[in-house]
């Protein structure tokens, strides 16, 4: 039990360290100034979110193939954690945009795609609340999760093309903008720290889900008596 606390403390220190690095170690960016530092959290959260959704996708495939409840638990845990990181992305984007572009939401390609991604996984979670029987819920949400994940590259691609048809302000520099070596180091450290946080949260949520399922089984058996 205390081991979990230790791991949790370690993960939190990592995140704190990356925050420190973002504010104090990374050099100030020339054009944007202080607000650019939010990039380290914004982009790293996006990566962590996408990794979480990839874990969800694999869990979905495994559930459809093996039908073991643990894959369903992993899927929902990864989806929720991924959604949390994506929400951070959607909040930090506008925080950055306002001082730089003067408006909160510029319909930037990546941010818009992230919003659609957010909607897809919210739907995944909503679908789960609308199916009561556990095996049905697991199978149908896994299948929707698979369809949603397959859609993601198409969504990102289509929105990027749409934006080339109708250009608009880009959040935090397009794909061409480079990172100076120290910045790159801080960025990858943030990515590492947030991935550690992601893994920790998924494991915790998975444990919670397993407890919930056991409770549900006991309750159903009691009702049947």
Contact footprint for another protein (CB under 8 A): 64, 67, 116, 119-120, 123, 126-127, 130-136, 139-140, 143-144, 146-148, 150-151, 154-155, 157-159, 161-162, 165, 216-218, 220-221, 224
> Least CB distance from residue 51 to another protein, whole Å?
21
Q: Which is nearer to another protein, 41 or 53 (CB)?
A: 53
> Least CB distance from residue 162 to another protein, whole Å?
5
54 burial via Cβ count (<10 Å: 0-12, 13-18, 19+) = middle
158 burial via Cβ count (<10 Å: 0-12, 13-18, 19+) = middle
> Least CB distance from residue 54 to another protein, whole Å?
17
Q: Which is nearer to another protein, 184 or 220 (CB)?
A: 220
Q: Which is nearer to another protein, 44 or 142 (CB)?
A: 142
Q: Roughly what angle, to the nearest 10 degrees, separates helices 181-224 and 2-20? A: 150
C-alpha 102, offset from chain centre: 27
**Bridge partner list, 29:** 33
Q: Which is nearer to another protein, 1 or 222 (CB)?
A: 222
33 Rama sector, left if φ>0, alpha if ψ -120 to 50, beta otherwise: left
> Least CB distance from residue 133 to another protein, whole Å?
6
- Other beta carbons less than 10 A from residue 12's beta carbon: 14
């Amino acid at each position: 039990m205390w081991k979990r606390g230790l791991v949790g403390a370690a993960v939190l220190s990592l995140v704190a360290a990356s925050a420190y690095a973002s504010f104090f170690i990374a050099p100030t960016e020339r054009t944007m100034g202080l607000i650019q530092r939010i990039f380290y959290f914004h982009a790293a959260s996006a990566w962590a979110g996408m990794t979480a959704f990839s874990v969800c996708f694999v869990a979905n495939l495994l559930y459809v193939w093996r039908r073991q409840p643990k894959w369903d638990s992993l899927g929902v845990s990864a989806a929720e954690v991924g959604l949390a990181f994506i929400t951070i992305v959607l909040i930090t984007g506008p925080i950055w945009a306002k001082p730089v572009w003067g408006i909160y939401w510029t319909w930037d390609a990546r941010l818009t795609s992230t919003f659609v991604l957010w909607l897809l996984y919210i739907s995944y979670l909503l679908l789960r609340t609308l199916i009561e029987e556990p095996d049905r819920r697991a199978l149908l949400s896994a299948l929707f999760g698979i369809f949603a994940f397959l859609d993601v590259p198409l969504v990102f691609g289509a929105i990027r093309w749409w934006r080339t048809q109708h250009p608009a302000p880009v959040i935090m520099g397009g794909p061409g903008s480079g990172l100076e070596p120290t910045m790159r180091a801080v960025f990858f450290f943030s990515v590492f720290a947030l991935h550690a946080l992601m893994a920790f949260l998924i494991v915790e949520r998975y444990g919670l889900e397993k407890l919930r399922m056991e409770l549900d089984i006991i309750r159903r058996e009691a009702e049947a008596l």
